């Protein structure tokens, strides 16, 4: 099967999040057949919920369709997942994780907690980083620059 990136859709969700005044992060869950199961952007402010990260919302929605385990599914997210989301990705048995920009502040995959490298991590997805990373990073920079001026 040809590889088709869904990062463009994740970036759309990130832009929609920014338009709602949320930190611009977007995520998409794709099923084993390549169909989009769920897409979401950050909603922590709107939902008053610090766990309402794009990945968490997309995983919850996809599990509503697919079941508790997303075996064989892929997750695209514009920013390196934090430790909470990385743990959720492992628990959901996501097959492949594609992310855009690295996150030195809160990332938990390539830095920080490095959740997937931990011996207690029972499922490790294949990880591909830097997918449209510059576009994702530019969105975040623009958002925080505008917020500092506002």
Q: Strand, coil or helix: what is 96?
A: strand
Binding flag, residue 75, Zn ion (CB under 5 A): no
Identified binder of Zn ion from the candidate list 13, 30, 37, 53, rule CB under 5 A: 53
Residue 139, both tokens? 């969105």
- Applying CB under 5 A, among 82, 89, 92, 97 the residue interacting with Zn ion is 82
Residue in the block written with tokens 């995983």: 59
- The CB-of-42 to Zn ion minimum distance in angstroms stands at 9
Strand partners, 126: 96
The Cα 150–Cα 8 span in angstroms is 28
Number of residue whose CB is nearest Zn ion: 85
To the question of whether residue 118 is assigned a binding role by annotation, the answer is: no
Residues 6+ apart with CB under 8 A from 146: none
Q: Is the separation of the CB atoms in 57 and 28 below 8 Å?
A: no
Residue 37 interacts with Zn ion (CB under 5 A)?
A: no
Catalytic residues: 55
Please say which residue, 75 or 85, places its beta carbon nearer to Zn ion.
85
Which residues in the 84-103 window bind Zn ion by CB under 5 A? Answer: 85
Q: Which residues are annotated as part of the binding site for Zn(2+)?
A: 53, 82, 85
Binding site residues, as ranges? 53, 82, 85
């Amino acid at each position: 099967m040809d590889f088709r990136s869904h990062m463009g859709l994740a970036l759309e969700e990130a832009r929609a999040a920014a338009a709602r005044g949320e930190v611009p992060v977007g995520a998409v869950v794709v099923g084993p057949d390549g169909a989009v199961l769920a897409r979401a952007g950050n909603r922590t402010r709107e939902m008053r919920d610090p766990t309402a990260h794009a990945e968490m919302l997309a995983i919850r929605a996809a599990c509503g369709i697919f079941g508790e385990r997303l075996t064989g599914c892929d997750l695209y997210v514009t920013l390196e997942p934090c430790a909470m989301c990385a743990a959720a990705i492992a628990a959901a048995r996501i097959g492949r994780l594609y992310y855009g920009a690295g996150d030195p502040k809160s990332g938990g995959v390539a830095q920080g907690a490095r959740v997937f490298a931990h011996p207690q991590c029972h499922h490790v997805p294949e990880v591909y980083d830097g997918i449209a990373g510059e576009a994702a990073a530019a969105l975040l920079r623009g958002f925080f620059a505008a917020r500092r001026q506002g």
